[in-house]
Amino acid sequence: MVDSLVELSATGLSSLYDLALLIARLLVGFMFAISGYYKIFRAKRRETMIETMQSADIPKPKKTGMFVAANELIFGLLLAFGLLTLLAATVLLIISAVAFFTVGYEPQKDRDAPFWWSMLLIKHQVLIAAILLLVIAGGSGDMALDAIFA
C-alpha cells in the first residue's frame, strides 16, 4: 500500500496531466487576455493602468501601457488556446515579473522571515509565474493547438 502511494506520488496521474495543464492554460491565459482587453477598450481601466505606471516611474506610461496591454491580450489568447505556447508563456512570465518588481513587491521591514515569505508568496504574480514556469517546462500538452500543428 505504501509503495503504491509512493509510486503514485512520484509519477502522478498522468492521464489527468493534460487536462490539468489545459485548465491552467485557460485560467491564466484568459486572465491575461481579459485584463489586456479592459486596459485597451475601457477608459477607466486604461487610466488606472497609466496612473500605476506613472507612480512606478515607468517611461512613457501611455505607450508602454498600451504595449503591455496588447501583449497581455494577444499572448493571453495564444496561451489559452495552446498556440505558440512557449513564446506566449515566456512573454507573460516577463510581464508578471516586471509587474511584481515594479508595483507588486513591498519590502517588509522589521518583519520576521516567515511573515515576509507569506507576504511574498501570497502575491498573485508569484503564483502566476509558478504556473507559467510549469507550462514553459512541460509544454502545452496534448489538449492544445500546438499538439495539432506539431
DSSP line for 15-56 = HHHHHHHHHHHHHHHHHHHHHHHHHHH-HHHHHHHHHHHHHT
Reported as half-sphere exposure (CB side, CA atoms, 13 A), residue 40 has a value of: 15
Question: Is it the case that residue 107 has pLDDT exceeding 90?
Answer: no
Residue 92 included in any domain: yes
Query: What is the pLDDT, as a whole number, of residue 119?
Result: 67
Residue 6 lies in a domain: no
* pLDDT in the model for residue 8: 66
Give the domain range for residue 115.
12-149
Query: How many domains is the chain partitioned into structurally?
Result: 1
Classify residue 102: in a domain, yes or no: yes
In tens, the pLDDT along 7-63 reads 766 666 777 888 999 999 999 999 999 999 999 999 999 999 999 999 889 999 999
56-90 per-position pLDDT tens digit: 899 999 999 999 999 999 999 999 999 999 999 99
Q: Is 4 part of a structural domain of the chain?
A: no
Residue 126: the pLDDT is: 86
Q: What is the rounded average pLDDT of the residues 110-125? A: 70
**Which pLDDT band, with edges at 50, 70 and 90, does 106 fall under?**
low
71 occurs within a structural domain: yes
Q: Is residue 114 part of a domain?
A: yes
Helix then strand count (H, E) for the chain reads 8, 0
Residue 109's pLDDT band (cuts 50, 70, 90)? low
